[in-house]
Amino acid sequence: MRVVGKPLPKVDVRAKVTGSTLYADDLVLPDMLFCKLLRSPHPYARIKRVDVRGALEVEGVVAAITGDDLPIKYGILPVTQDEHALENEKVRYVGDPVAAVAAYDEETAALACERIVVEYEVLHPVTSIEEALSEPVDEPIHDYGGPANIHKMAALAFGDLESGFAQADHIREDVFFYEGNTHLPMEEHSAIASYVDGKLTLWSSTQTPHYVHRAVSKVMGLPMSAVRIVATPHGGGFGGKTDPFSHEMVVCKLAMVTGKPVKCTLTREEVFYAHRGRHPVLMWVRTGVKRDGKITAMHFKTALDGGAYGSYGVATTFYTGALQTATYDIPAYRFEGARVFTNKAPCGPKRGHGTPQPRFALELHLDKIAEDLGLDPVEVRRRNYVKPNTTTVNWLRITSCGLEEITNRVIQASGYHRRRRVEGHGMGFAVASYLSGAGLPIYWNKLPHSECQLKLDRGGVTAYCGATDIGQGSDTVIATVVAEELGLWPSDIRLVTGDTGLAPVDLGSYSSRVTFMAGNAALDAARKLRDLLVEVAAESMGCSPGEVEVGDGKIGALSFEETAQLAQERYGAISTAGSYRPPDLAGPYKGSGVGPSPAYSYSAAVVDLDADSKTGIVQVNKVWLAHDIGRSINPISVRGQVEGGVYMGLGEALMEEQAYRKALHKQPSMLDYKSLTFVDMPEVETILVETNDPEGPYGAKEVGQGPLLPVVPAVASAIHDALGVWVDQVPITPDKVLKALDAKVKGEAPRFGPKSFPDIPYPQCIKVDPPHVATQAV
């Protein structure tokens, strides 16, 4: 291949590094107004009255609106349409928006917000999973779900648990807690709307213009055809910009009310409130194993602190139980999950969506089982690895699977088995798997998940695709795929992406789906255009199409431009279109929509660190990460994603936490919310393994999320290797390490972490026959 697999620069890199990229907040439209949101200072309160008259009296204010102006509810999932752009009945977390002002400048808008009078009746806030499970002091946070403040419960059982546990030589139970954390994109959310001739346009730093399109249309009461969403270049998303947001709805409404463009850019503090970050999850796991470590049965329970709204929470709940089986062959598996509402900023999807938490628990749990059995933890995992081209007990179709190879490569490169065994130094190993795109869309439909149109005109090619480049390089992937097929360079391709008005649909930049799905759509469209050009060239050359070579800007003996002109002369206007819809992969049970993917990536990590027994301070020296990428479309971008995933994983393992004190975010600032700085970031050795997936474009799979997953447990495992104590809770701050060491000194269990898992009224498990049983029955 000529451009696929080559370390070419990203197509948008020059503008990015020279600062000329226009992000949402850089956009300025003539006569534009600035919007500020007034947010609730109470975690939980009933709104008695909102009076914006004071704001309207401020000179320079053009409009002020409240929840009465935006009565239609929305939400990312069809089953949880539970948000108002501006609340008019109740506020459910500190930061819940209640009113908005548009003014000629931002200072005036902020001042006017201070003049809005809101009367609240304060209610008793719910601040923890435990509180949410018991009867509320006041009314439940939402009028759906229950009992108490439970939002959603799931209970699934695959295969014969009873006999699985009965066959076990050893059964172990553990409890883990994974604290919530946030995405921390460099770019704060920003949106600007204009309403001209009955047509609404919203430019927004969103990862999912298609879903925002649907939500805006619903809330504004406009047909989809009258709404255009443009996803602007991103300064980071990581899942934090995948919901439709209040400020997006508000600028649309204000643009419609005032007839002027309106912009709203969140402050850093507001980004912490918009959140939709990692759910805090309490986990309990019980596993039966044979003497050799082979798993016979597993029972996994989760409790998620969802914060104030639904967001993606139903999906997140299922994700805490879905991918355990994507790495390990578990013959009998039971999963019970529950998500609760609390009066905190709403949680949602963050890189790894609902899977880093159970992955942390699962990998440490296996380490402990290996220790119990006196076995090598790497070997225990190997004995349980899923095999390529199999179907898991919960009906996940595994195709390409590089688990063996990534394990061998990372173990070898790191020298894990030859490591220095001295107190204070340790290495930890873990593996994980992630989706190359969710198999099902967020709302039920059978449409393609991604479409791409190519226009050939005056010798140039333009690719139109709804895919949204959030910095992950999806524009580069589309350009590379098209260029590969047409014998051009990626930089030759003009791109129109992330724009619902100009480009055909793509569901968005979430679930690691874009390279796989938009890549396949682009490939489909490009092959059609290639065939057309080859045919024209062959005719002109007087040979058969099979003899025409494409490459280096040439189609056979003709230049690309010449061929393009011949094609236009013959056919007139030329465009081709391609699309991709994943095969139907969902298993035959309710809840099977979460987990299936056309392909799974695999990642293995080894972390090397020093841990000080006097201070509990951990210093990570190096991380090796081997990733089964299927095939790299662009290896530089892939490495960038691996390093970014390692970075984020280390942050979650060691310091990042969305901490609250009395239902108030404790540290909504970039100084106080800790994430690694340059100097805290260790060397990362990236090893790419190519398994050439049969369904991925050129064999490619995902890399945006998977590499984060094994890093977190590998850190905890390395700390255990260094000091002989388990810290079963992230972030692993030095005080927790010391507490675990204190416990060890006192002769207690050498660990720090949650002691028990609460009683949760899970429903009766849906019993599902695993595929091999179901097949036999047929």
Q: 444 or 678: whose CB is closer to another protein?
A: 678
Rg (CA), the chain: 27
d(CA 375, CA 369): 8
658/669 Cα distance (integer angstroms): 11
For residues 287 and 172, is the Cβ–Cβ distance under 8 A?
A: yes
In the complex, least distance from residue 141 CB atom to another protein, rounded to whole angstroms:
18
Q: Hey, what amino acid is at 282?
A: L
Q: Residue 241 carries which side chain, given as an amino acid letter?
A: K
CB nearer to another protein: give 665 or 751.
665
Q: Which CB atom, from 621 or from 669, has the smaller least distance to another protein? A: 669
Closer to another protein by Cβ: residue 334 or 674:
674
Q: Which is nearer to another protein, 672 or 683 (CB)?
A: 672
Edge-to-edge strand order for the sheet containing 574-580?
Answer: 494-497, 460-465, 450-457, 574-580
CB nearer to another protein: give 659 or 766.
659
Contact 462, 493 (CB under 8 A): yes
CA distances from 412 to 306, 406, 604, 605, 722 (A): 40, 10, 12, 12, 20
CB of 722 to another protein, least distance (A): 18
Give least dist CB 340 to another protein, A.
23
**125 with 44: CB under 8 angstroms?**
yes
State the minimum distance, in angstroms, from the CB of residue 616 to another protein.
7
Our CB check for another protein shows the closer of 114 and 549 to be: 114
- Binding interface with another protein (CB under 8 A): 39, 41-42, 94, 106-107, 110, 188, 265, 267, 269, 614-616, 655, 661-662, 664-669, 671-672, 674, 676-680, 733-735, 738
CB of 90 to another protein, least distance (A): 16
The C-alpha atoms of residue 317 and residue 333 are separated, in whole angstroms, by 16
Q: Based on CB atoms, which residue is closest to another protein, 37 or 518?
A: 37
Q: Which of 511, 522, 521 is nearest to 600 (CA)?
A: 511
**Residue 235 or 441 with smaller CB distance to another protein:** 235
What are 518's two structure tokens? Answer: 């938009």
- Nearest approach in angstroms of CB 103 to another protein is 12
Q: Closer CB to another protein, residue 458 or residue 614?
A: 614
CB of 232 to another protein, least distance (A): 17
Cβ at position 202, least distance to another protein in Å = 21
Contact status, residue 43 vs residue 344, Cβ threshold 8 Å: yes
What is each CA distance from 182 to 117, 332, 665, 753, in whole angstroms? 31, 34, 12, 21
Query: What's the rounded Cα separation, in Å, for the pair 206 and 219?
Result: 17
Closest approach of another protein to the CB of residue 679, in Å:
4
DSSP codes joined into one string, 135-155:
PPSSS-SSSSS-STTEEEEEE
Closest CB to another protein among residues 529, 620: 620
Residue-wise over 249-287: b if at least 16 C-beta within 10 A, else e? bbbbbbbbbbebbbbbbbeebbbbbbbbbbbbbbbbbbb
How far is residue 747's CA from residue 728's CA, in Å, rounded to a whole number? 18
CB-wise, 264 or 456, nearer to another protein?
264
One DSSP character per residue, 296-307 reads: EEEEEEEEEE--
Q: Where are the alpha helices (DSSP H) in 275-355?
A: 313-322, 324-327
Sort 163 into a burial class: Cβ within 10 Å, 0-12 / 13-18 / 19+.
middle
Amino acid, res. 119? E
Cβ 718 to another protein shortest distance, Å: 19
Q: Nearer to another protein by C-beta: 389 or 669?
A: 669
Question: Are the C-beta atoms of residues 586 and 441 closer than 8 Å to each other?
Answer: no
Residue type, 449: H
CB of 113 to another protein, least distance (A): 9
- Minimum gap (Å) between residue 671 Cβ and another protein: 7
Give me the least distance between CB of 262 and another protein, in Å please.
17
